[in-house]
Amino acid sequence: MASVFTKIIQGELPSYKLMEDKHSIAILALDQVTLGHTLVIPKIEVDHWFDVPTEAFLQVQRNSQILARALQKATQCPRVMTATVGFEVPHCHLHLIPAWSMADLNFARGVRRTPEEMKSIQERIIGHLHEAVSK
């Protein structure tokens, strides 16, 4: 059975997409630990990060750097933390979490935001992507 991320990649489920290329997609997390919490996902459905084919893994990392720069600008956070956990969905994904303290890495703090909040942060992040790519 396809993971929820595969269904998003295939267009079967909606998402707040930030970027997409041949090997990966980046979307806002449904449950936002902090506003701007982003998931960078390889398109190939692989459970463990160490099993992701190298080309896809490297693209996820490249895109994560670009997105982290845009996230930092969009949220004015001092740090963007990363985590690859994998317990909630058996499809590798990297969390990018705008952070002001270590407490911001607490997934129990994740909450659903309004569609207006999600659209607003999506637009702000996308608005900073061009600048982030050129660095």
**Residues recognised as catalytic:** 93
Sign of CA dihedral 20, 41, 32, 76: negative
44: Cβ–Cβ under 8 A, 6 or more apart, which residues?
23, 52, 53, 56
User: By the 8 A CB rule, do 52 and 87 touch?
Assistant: no
Partnered with residue 17 across adjacent β-strands are 27
d(CA 58, CA 12): 26
